[in-house]
Each structure stands twice: as C-alpha cells, then as structure tokens.
Homo-oligomer: A and B are copies of this chain.
Amino acid sequence: MARPKPLSGFPEYLPRERMVELAVLDTLRETFELHGFANVETRSVEPLTQLSRKGEITKEVYVVRRLHADEHDSNELGLHFDLTVPLARWVLEHSGHLQFPFRRYQIQKVWRGERPQEGRYREFTQADIDILGQGELAAHHDVEAPLVMLEALENLHEQIGLAPVLMHVNNRKLSEGFYRGLGIEDTLAVLQLVDKYAKIGPQATQELLVSELGLTSSVADKCVQLAGIRSSDTGFVQQVRDLGVSDPLLEEGLTELVTLVEQAHKRVPGRLCADLSIARGLDYYTGSVYETELVGHEAMGSISSGGRYDSLASDGKNSYPGVGISLGVTRLLAPLLAKNEFVVSRSVPTCVVVAVDNEDTRSGADEVAALLRARGVPCEVAPKADKYGKQIRYADRRGIPFVWFGGLVGEVKDIRSGEQQPADAQEWMPSDHTDLWPQVLPAE
C-alpha cells in the first residue's frame, strides 16, 4: 500500500500532540466537575428531522446510511453538527430521570461538511457546559456559565501556558430593548445585520441597515453607535444612556449585563468586557451572549461562544430554558499545535525503561516493572536484550528519563545527567515528581 494521504478537514494528531489535547481535556473535566457539572454523552447521530431548524436542513450536515440499507429504511440519520441540538432532544427524552436545574458538560466530536479551510474542520471536538431549568431558570446562571468557562481557560493559561483570553459579552435584551425603544419592529433582523459589525465596520453596517431594512439614517446611526460601545467595566451603562433611548427590556438587559461584568471583574479580572456589537447569529438566544478571543490570536475568531436561550427545548407540558457555552477544542488547539506552541517532556507515558540482561532473565525485569507500576511509576521493559548502550538509546529517543539495571534491588540511571544510583523497586520514586508523568509546557 502506498503511503496514505491525510483527509482535508479531518485533523489527526501525533502522540505528543494528543498528550497536549488530553491535558486540555483533563483540565476542562476537572474544572467542570468541581462546579458540579455531570458528564453526558449523546449518540453521534440524530434523525435528519431533528437536525433541521424550522424544517430547513443546513447543507453542512453529513448523512449516514448503511451501505446496503433497505430502500424502505425511512429513518434517515445525520451526524450531529453541535452538542446543543442533541442536548435538547436528550433532555426531553430523559427529563423524568433528571433533577432540575440540571448541569451537564459534554465533550464530543461533531461533524460539519463545510469547505475545509484554516480554522474550519469537518470533524472536530467541542466541550460544552449547559445549565437547564424546568419551566424557569434564575438569571444568576447567566453569570455562572461563562465564569466557569473562563476559569477553565485561566487554568489552561496557568498550567500549560495557553494565551490569555478576552470574553466579549452582550445581552440580547439590551440590544432588542434599545431597538424597540427606537420604534424598530423586526429587532432580530437588526441583530443579524449588527452581527457583521466586527467584520465590516460601522460605516458598512449603517448603510446595510438603511438599504436592507429601510431604517432611517438617524435610527441606523443610533444602532451603530450602540454596537460601537465597549468597556471593560460598567462604564457602558452611561454610554448607552447618553444615546437617549429608553425601554423596559433595555433596562433589564443593562441590569443583567452589569451583574455579569461586575462578577467577572471579581473572579477573573481582566478577562471579560462588555461589547455591544456581539449579537450571535442564532435565533434561539434570548439574553446574555458570549464570544471569546484568544489574545494575540484574534484571527482565529471566537474560540468559545454561547448564551441564554429560553425555549430551545419544550415538550408541550414544560419548557426547558437554559444557558450554555461551548469551547471549540480542535479549533483552539489544532492551529496552536501546528505552530508548535507547546512542548511535551516526552512522547510516551513511560518514566522508566527496565533493561534486560538477556532473554532468559526477561521475567526478572518484568517483576521489577510490575513492582514499580504497582506504586504508580509508568514502566516499560526493554524490547530486546541488546547492549546497554542500545537500551539507553531506546529510552533516549522517546525522551524517557530513567533506565533501571539489575533486579528488585538494582541501579537506576538518569540518562539526562548520566548519574547512576542504587535503587530498590519497593521504594524508588523520581526525586523530581514532575518526572513521573509527561509534562505539557509552553514553548519558549
């Protein structure tokens, strides 16, 4: 077989790169669980009808069919393209077994048949947290969800040197209330145009509001002025008031956004700003909305987005309002890994290679390794009773720090320093505990 070629849009990692991803996933899991989120996985497929929005199936869906399916196999399936639509279905299906408010995190692959390009993938991993209520959900959860994600990202900043983030937040009530205060009826249409503000700038946004939605020039001006407001503290309130528009929904949105900005300032200072251009294209958001930039990598686009939704799921008897935020794990990591932004201390979990004198004493080496493992030290036994120099090279090529010689009471060599010392397999541990498992560190 000739050397296979990669499939565009389906990234794969070498073991070292996967170690970085595993470290990231471990940190996410730990942070989410410390906040009481339970893990859920949903099946990878949904009926195609579930993957449509208002009857329209977006073209990015991958359809899945058995190769020799019956012609009458009516149950057409597609791979899920996010973790929110499956969550809505799963909660309706299992609501009788859940306690509300229900907090779940979900880390899975999703698929989109988009044209592959930098930062866009056809198969990629998402990590979502959501809090769902039954009938109602208090507004303080709108503050909680983004702060949990910011805490996870801050942990990654501290632990593996991920660049710091800046989360941009807004509130749909604020924007829609403002538009209503201006006398605009189709507020969603304005939001969807304002969503382009960051890309096309204020001038072009203003022109589109006039030409496409028929707003008067002065009303369109106000909308663009609102979108231009940005502050790292609660200064945005006065700036909004200065525009002279009033509406009860606007007030509600202002109050919620103030609380979010204040709480974030306390818990993760410097990582969140009010940015009234943030709109989020999706129509199901009804309150807070979030987008997140990796500082110094703004061209990546938002790595973590979400918001409040009041009626994503409903079974007629109950509605399930919620708030959630999703981290694009592959979208974040794949470009950074390609640029070698992280260093891994070795390419295998192994801490110690136990050398083999000759094939007849291999089982003695197996015993040493078993004893070390029982005490939590990752070990391999050398694959061949080569000369010691060759066995040391086996370890060296993989970045494994130690080689063990002899039996249960033997000697251990740190092949980086060349130092060799007596060691007892019942007691030995690496003197530097960071040598025990591979470490992920920022590249210098």
Q: Which residues of A contact B (CB under 8 A)?
A: 1-7, 10-15, 18-19, 22, 33-45, 47, 50, 57, 59-69, 75, 77-79, 89-90, 92-94, 97-99, 101, 103-104, 109, 111, 113, 123, 138, 140-141, 263, 266-267, 313-316, 347-350, 359, 362-363, 366, 370, 373, 376-380, 383-384, 397-398, 437
20 additional A-B residue pairs with CB within 8 Å, beyond A4-B89, A36-B348, A44-B123? A1-B315, A7-B77, A13-B40, A15-B38, A15-B104, A19-B38, A34-B377, A37-B349, A38-B347, A59-B66, A59-B67, A60-B67, A62-B66, A62-B67, A64-B64, A99-B397, A103-B380, A140-B362, A263-B363, A267-B370
Q: Across the interface, which residues of B come within 8 angstroms of A65, CB to CB? A: 62-63, 65
Q: Across the interface, which residues of B come within 8 angstroms of A101, CB to CB? A: 383
Residue in B closest to A14 when the chains form the complex, CB atoms = B97
Known: A4-B89, A59-B66. A36 touches B315 (CB 8 A): no
| A34 CA to B376 CA, complexed, in Å | 7
Find out whether the CB atom of A315 lies under 8 angstroms from the CB atom of B376: no
**Whole-angstrom distance between the Cβ of A383 and the nearest chain B Cβ:** 5
| A370 CA to B89 CA, complexed, in Å | 32
| A292 CA to B437 CA, complexed, in Å | 31
A-B contact pairs, 7 of them (CB 8 A): A4-B89, A12-B42, A15-B40, A35-B373, A44-B123, A60-B66, A99-B397
Known: A3-B92, A67-B57. A36 touches B350 (CB 8 A): yes
Q: Across the interface, which residues of B come within 8 angstroms of A61, CB to CB? A: 66-67
Find out whether the CB atom of B66 lies under 8 angstroms from the CB atom of A113: yes
Find out whether the CB atom of B63 lies under 8 angstroms from the CB atom of A3: no
Q: Across the interface, which residues of B come within 8 angstroms of A35, CB to CB? A: 373, 378-380
Q: Across the interface, which residues of B come within 8 angstroms of A90, CB to CB? A: 12
| A359 CA to B139 CA, complexed, in Å | 11
Find out whether the CB atom of B92 lies under 8 angstroms from the CB atom of A383: no
The 8 closest A-B pairs by CB, nearest first: A66-B113, A36-B350, A36-B380, A33-B349, A15-B38, A10-B43, A59-B68, A34-B373
Find out whether the CB atom of B348 lies under 8 angstroms from the CB atom of A103: yes
Find out whether the CB atom of A39 lies under 8 angstroms from the CB atom of B15: yes
| A103 CA to B400 CA, complexed, in Å | 14
| A125 CA to B325 CA, complexed, in Å | 26
Q: Across the interface, which residues of B come within 8 angstroms of A60, CB to CB? A: 66-67
Residue in B closest to A139 when the chains form the complex, CB atoms = B359
Find out whether the CB atom of A113 lies under 8 angstroms from the CB atom of B39: no
Contact of A45 among B7, B59, B89 (CB under 8 A): B7
Find out whether the CB atom of A1 lies under 8 angstroms from the CB atom of B67: no
**Whole-angstrom distance between the Cβ of A350 and the nearest chain B Cβ:** 4
| A172 CA to B165 CA, complexed, in Å | 57
Residue in B closest to A373 when the chains form the complex, CB atoms = B34
Q: Across the interface, which residues of B come within 8 angstroms of A316, CB to CB? A: 1-2
Known: A266-B363, A363-B266. A63 touches B62 (CB 8 A): no
**Whole-angstrom distance between the Cβ of A244 and the nearest chain B Cβ:** 31
Known: A39-B15, A45-B123, A267-B370. A4 touches B62 (CB 8 A): no
Residue in B closest to A97 when the chains form the complex, CB atoms = B14
| A424 CA to B266 CA, complexed, in Å | 21
| A383 CA to B65 CA, complexed, in Å | 44
Q: Across the interface, which residues of B come within 8 angstroms of A40, CB to CB? A: 13, 15, 18
Q: Across the interface, which residues of B come within 8 angstroms of A42, CB to CB? A: 12
Known: A45-B7, A370-B267. A34 touches B78 (CB 8 A): no
Find out whether the CB atom of A349 lies under 8 angstroms from the CB atom of B63: no
| A57 CA to B61 CA, complexed, in Å | 24
Q: Across the interface, which residues of B come within 8 angstroms of A437, CB to CB? A: 33
Q: Across the interface, which residues of B come within 8 angstroms of A379, CB to CB? A: 34-36
| A397 CA to B99 CA, complexed, in Å | 8
| A271 CA to B140 CA, complexed, in Å | 54
**Whole-angstrom distance between the Cβ of A304 and the nearest chain B Cβ:** 20
| A99 CA to B346 CA, complexed, in Å | 12
Find out whether the CB atom of B89 lies under 8 angstroms from the CB atom of A78: no
| A90 CA to B10 CA, complexed, in Å | 13
